[in-house]
Structures are given as structure tokens and as C-alpha cells.
Amino acid sequence: MKKRLALLAAVVLGAQSAGAEKAHTIRQYQFDRDGDGYRLVMRGVPRPVARDDEVLVRVRATSLNHRDLNMLRGKYDEDHSYAATIPLSDGAGEVIAVGKDVTRFEVGDRVAGIFFEEWIDGPPSEASLLTDRGGNAGGMLSEVIVSHEDGLVTIPDHLTWEEAATLPCAAVTAWVALFKRGQVEPGQWVLLEGTGGVSIFGLIFADAVRARPVITSSHDWKLRRAVEMGAVGTANYRQNPEWHLAVKEITGGQGVDQVLDIGGRSTLPKVLEILAYGGHVALIGGLTGYGFDLPTDSIMWVNATASGIYVGSRADFETMNAFISEHGIRPLIDRVFDFEDAPAAYDYLENGDFMGKIVIRLPEP
């Protein structure tokens, strides 16, 4: 009898020891060098510990941006090595521990990481622009992350984890472009290029303030979906190389008041041809390349403005979240992948046949 009890105790203690060991380790993806680029490798690592001014977050969902694909392919800041760093800037989760000096959050709060961990308010500094998440220790593709309390925001109550995870990069970029820089007004014509994350958020935001969004795509099914979401005009740039003239015709010849320029080198010249007097173009992306010489005479002639947009601050994120809550806005998610299938999510992003955001869901705790 004593031997059986001793054996049972040993089994129980062994199970408790295994459980304790598991509790002290987490799974996370890291970049591993693969030729000129990288591959995703899932690794077990020690669970991080929150210092006095830090917060521990159990990540529940993350989302991808085109920047993440560029990192994986070795086409983003090619002079910098991302080996052994954590991918993805965007993610949302729940606070599971706080340091003794933390005042902004409590255990159980629902939060998202901000894109630049140290850009809090006002204009950025050179130092704050070097704190962008993803490809560093602050990446979100991990079961648990640790962050300084200043690098997080509370997420809107009505959003799911997956929806909240789409906000940090694409949504803040669209918000800053339209509201902070463009000061969009009801009735203005808003041109949105393509149907990726930034453009779809631009469509949702423009529709919410009763502006008149016009969107482009190379797929008619995406354009039909955009109309269902509030677009008042569309143009298929694959079928019509002079798509910008079709857009101007939609506006009755007036031109567009606001532009979220995602394309870069090949789209900007066309955009400037149809920019309305007093219009605003937000320079956001370079899907077709960077380095276009900005024709300042064209901008001056129509009394327009051009703004370079690189996401935004924590204050911008918080202001946007208040707007999202007020209007009951829900992001558009194209597809959700399981944590174990993260590499497939990258492949899906590279394929390009999606609309809105691609999300990776982490397992239940």
C-alpha cells in the first residue's frame, strides 16, 4: 500500500513539475535567416517577466501588413538583420500581470500594442521612429509579450480580439491621413487605391463621416463588395489604364479632395492630375516603387497639400479608438489563420487575392 501511495505521489509531483515548467515557457515565432530573406520558426522560450513599469500581455490575435512580408523576404531595411527577432507590429490581448509602478492598466484589461512603442504624442522624434514593433523584441507574434505601459492602448469594447488586432498600423495610418492631416469633411471626394488594409479602413472612416469614397481595384468582385460597404464610385485599373480619368468623371469633373496614395511611383502622377483645388494627398505606400519626383508646380497650381504618413502616435490611436467606439465601426477581416499556420498567412498575403486584413488567432489560454 505504501509503495502504491509513493508511486502515486511521484506521478502527481511529476505532472505538477511538468505543468510548472510549461507555465514558465511560451511559444513564439522568430525570424531565422534563409538566404537573402528569412523564414518563420516557432520556438519555445522563457516566459517574459514584467518589470516595475511594464505590463505582461497574453496575445489573443495578431494581423499582417505588407511591411511584414517585406521583412520576411529581406526587402525591408536590408542593412539590418532581423534574425531571432519577433515578427508583426499588430496585435491585441489581455493584461495578465503588471509591475508595481504601473498606473495605466490592470490585470484583465483589453489592450493593443502601439506601432511605435515610444511615440506617445505630438510630432515624432528620430529616436521614437526607431521603436517600431515587429522584427524586434517588441514583435507581437508570441503567446505572451512584455511592454512598457506607455506602449499600449485600451481597445474598443465592442471589438473582438481579431478585429482589435487589425488597428495599430493600417487603421491609424488611414485615420491620420484623413482626419489629422486631411481634415476630411462630409461630402468630400475621397480616393482609395486598392482594397488592402489602409484603403479599406479609409473607406470605412470616410463613409462614417458621410464623405464620398471612390475605390480602385483589379478585381470586380472586390469593387462590388466596396460598394456594399459605402463606396459611391469604383474603377478597375487593370481593365482601364486611364482609371484616374474615370475617377475624375465620377466626381463630375471636380476631382478628388482626399487621396490615400498607396501605389507610389506609378499612381502618384495620375493622382496629381485629378486632385481637386485645395485637395490633399497622403503619401503612404510604395507598392509600385518609391523615388518619384514630386511636381511642386502641379501642387501649387491647385493650392493642394501633400503629407508623408508613417502611421501615428499613441494619442492618434486613442483618438481613433474613440471614433471607432462612437460609430460602432468594425474592421473588415478577410481570413483568420491559426497560430500554428502563421507561415500560410504570409503566403496568403503575398498572393494578394484578399480584401481588408489577414489575422492570426492565438490559442485560448
Predicted local distance difference test score (pLDDT) of residue 20: 39
Task: Say whether 125 sits in a helix, a strand or coil.
Answer: coil
Residue 68 pLDDT exceeds 70: yes
Predicted local distance difference test score (pLDDT) of residue 7: 42
In this prediction the pTM is 0.91
Q: What is the pLDDT of residues 156-191, one digit of tens each?
A: 999 999 999 999 999 999 999 999 999 999 999 999
Predicted local distance difference test score (pLDDT) of residue 285: 78
Are 194 and 222 in contact, with CB atoms under 8 Å apart? no
Q: What is the pLDDT of residues 287-325, one digit of tens each?
A: 555 556 666 677 778 888 999 999 999 999 999 999 999
Are 197 and 219 in contact, with CB atoms under 8 Å apart? no
The CATH fold assigned to 171-308 is: Rossmann fold (3.40.50)
**CA gap 6, 2 in Å, rounded:** 6
Which 8-state DSSP code applies to residue 166? T
**Range among 74-83, 130-139, 302-311 with highest mean pLDDT value:** 130-139
Lowest mean pLDDT of 96-100, 160-164, 248-252, 270-274, name the range.
270-274
Give exposure, 275-310, as e/b (b: 16+ Cβ within 10 Å): bbeebbbbbbbbbeeeebeeeeeebeeeebebeebe
Closest CA to 342 of 11, 26, 41, 36: 41
Predicted local distance difference test score (pLDDT) of residue 365: 78
Q: How far is CA 52 from the centre of its chain?
A: 28
Residue 8 pLDDT exceeds 60: no
Predicted local distance difference test score (pLDDT) of residue 292: 60
Residue 112 pLDDT exceeds 70: yes
Predicted local distance difference test score (pLDDT) of residue 150: 98
**CA gap 331, 358 in Å, rounded:** 11
Domain map of the chain by residue range? 38-166+331-361, 171-308
Q: What is the mean pLDDT of the chain?
A: 91
**Dihedral angle sign, alpha carbons of residues 300, 304, 308, 313:** positive
**CA gap 271, 216 in Å, rounded:** 12
Higher per-residue pLDDT: 267 or 361: 361
H helices within the chain, ranges in order? Answer: 2-23, 66-72, 161-164, 172-175, 197-208, 220-228, 243-250, 268-273, 296-301, 314-327, 342-351
Q: What is the largest CA-CA distance in the chain?
A: 96
Residue 31 pLDDT exceeds 60: yes
C-alpha cell at 195: 482594397
Are 65 and 135 in contact, with CB atoms under 8 Å apart? no
Are 32 and 85 in contact, with CB atoms under 8 Å apart? no
Higher per-residue pLDDT: 244 or 299: 244
Predicted local distance difference test score (pLDDT) of residue 265: 67
Q: What is the pLDDT of residues 183-215, one digit of tens each?
A: 999 999 999 999 999 999 999 999 999 999 999
Predicted local distance difference test score (pLDDT) of residue 268: 87
C-alpha cell at 36: 537573402
38-166+331-361 CATH choice from 3.40.50.1950, 3.30.360.10, 3.90.180.10, 3.30.1540.10: 3.90.180.10
Q: What share of the chain in percent tops pLDDT 70?
A: 90
C-alpha cell at 302: 491647385
Average pLDDT over residues 108-133: 97
